[in-house]
Amino acid sequence: MADNKPSDSQLRLLLAQFLFAHNVDIETLYKALGSDLSGADSEAVSHMAGIIDGIALATSKIRAHGVDNWAKN
C-alpha cells in the first residue's frame, strides 16, 4: 500500500491555509505557544524561524491572491 503522507512542504502549505482560513496571525500563534527561545539551540531556532517566515509569506500571498492563485504571483 502506498504511503500517502504529505511532504514537509505540503504540510507547511496546509498549515498556512489553515491559519489563513481561521484568521490566525503567525506571530500571535508563536507567542501563544509560549516557547522560550533564550536557551534553545541556535540552529534549531534559525530553522524554526525560516519555517515561520515561509508560512507567514505564504499566508500573506494567500490573503492577497487567494488560495488558488497565491503561488503564481
- Per mean pLDDT, which range of 39-43, 63-67, 68-72 is the poorest? 39-43
Structural domain boundaries in the chain: 8-19+44-73
Which three-class secondary structure state does DSSP give residue 21? helix
> pLDDT tens-digit profile of 20-48?
788 887 667 777 888 666 676 778 777 77
The whole-number pLDDT of residue 36 equals 65
Express as a percent the part of the chain with pLDDT over 70. 84
Instruction: Tell me whether residue 52 is exposed, middle or buried, using C-beta atoms within 10 angstroms of its C-beta: 0 to 12, 13 to 18, 19 or more.
Output: middle
Cell 540552529 found at: 43
Does the pTM exceed 0.75? no
Q: How far is residue 65's CA from residue 14's CA, in Å, rounded to a whole number?
A: 16
- Say if residue 63's pLDDT is above 80: yes
Tell me how far apart the terminal alpha carbons of the chain are, to the nearest angstrom: 37
